[in-house]
Structures are given as C-alpha cells and as structure tokens.
Amino acid sequence: MSLRINSEAPNFTAETTRGNIDFHDWIGNGWAILFSHPKDFTPVCTTEPMIGDPQLKVAKLYDMLPAEAENSSEGRTAADNATVRSVFIIGPDKKIKAMLTYPMSSGRNFDEVLRLLDSCQLTAKHQVATPVNWKQGEDVIIVPSVSDERARQKFPGGWRAPKPYLRIVPQPR
C-alpha cells in the first residue's frame, strides 16, 4: 500500500520510551508528528522520544523500506536504512496531512516541520492556504473552494485580490 496525503495513517502498537502505545489511541484528538530514524547513533541523529521497531514493522507499514527487506534491524547499516528518514504529520482524523523524506546526509529542518504543522492546522480550521515561505502571523490565501459569498461571511474585513483566484487575507486567529 502506497501512502499519500489524505491516506489513513496506519495504526500500530509499539514499545516506546513512554511505554507501550497504540498509535491511533496515543494521537487521540490531537495532531501527531511521526519522525523516523533508522538506527541509534548514526551521524545525523535526533533526540525525540523513540518507538522501538526491531522487526521493522513500522518502517514497512509507513512505506519507508521495501516490503522484501529483512524482518530485523539486527546487522543493518546506515546504508541499508537510507530511505528511513521521513516525517509524517497526522491530523486528529488519523489522516496523513504532510510527508517529508530526507536523504541520509541531511538533517531535518525542524523550523520547516513546525511551519508545515502550523500551516496544516490553520488550513484545517479556517479554509485558507499558506503561500511560499509563509510564517506564522503572515497573510494567507482563501482556498478556491470557498465562494466569494462564503468568504464575505468568514472574512468580513474583506481581502486583496491581485488576481480573481488569489484572495489574500490576514491570518485568522
């Protein structure tokens, strides 16, 4: 199964640094960011609370390793795990809202991960889109699926429209 944006995030149970969890139960009604990391102590590593995946079940479930990969992390090298450097943002509906995959030579940009989370949450709540290089507090774009009539109700202060399809408003609070 190939994962895409708006696919249901696969559920799993796992041992973590916070105890055993059922992933969907752990998310509850909140948002989750699932970071993958191939193995302890690689040159570019992170310090998040960890999920143990010694049989590579989560890595395969989230399409980060080929299905035919061995069923154990034992003996695997950083080169074997080159594809296992992904980030998934998952909404309260348990759907994948965003995915990022990094090469093994590049560390994650946590500012970008947080910016993406802010954007996904804002879009889900207010029916707006965030433009390129958007940062918290900057103007946003009313999504095209919102009619002008509905936009006048949602955004009574009006909007700038340099093009008919580009309706720019201050970020909703």
What is the CA 129 to chain-centroid distance, rounded? 16
Reply yes or no on whether 45 is catalytic: yes
Specify whether the CB–CB gap between 172 and 122 falls below 8 A.
yes
120 within 8 A of 138, measured Cβ to Cβ: no
Q: Look up tokens 């947080």; give the residue.
A: 114
Which position among 45, 114, 143, 166 bears the catalytic label?
A: 45
Which 8-state DSSP code applies to residue 8? B
Q: Helix H segments across 34-165?
A: 57-61, 110-126, 148-154
Catalytic residues: 45
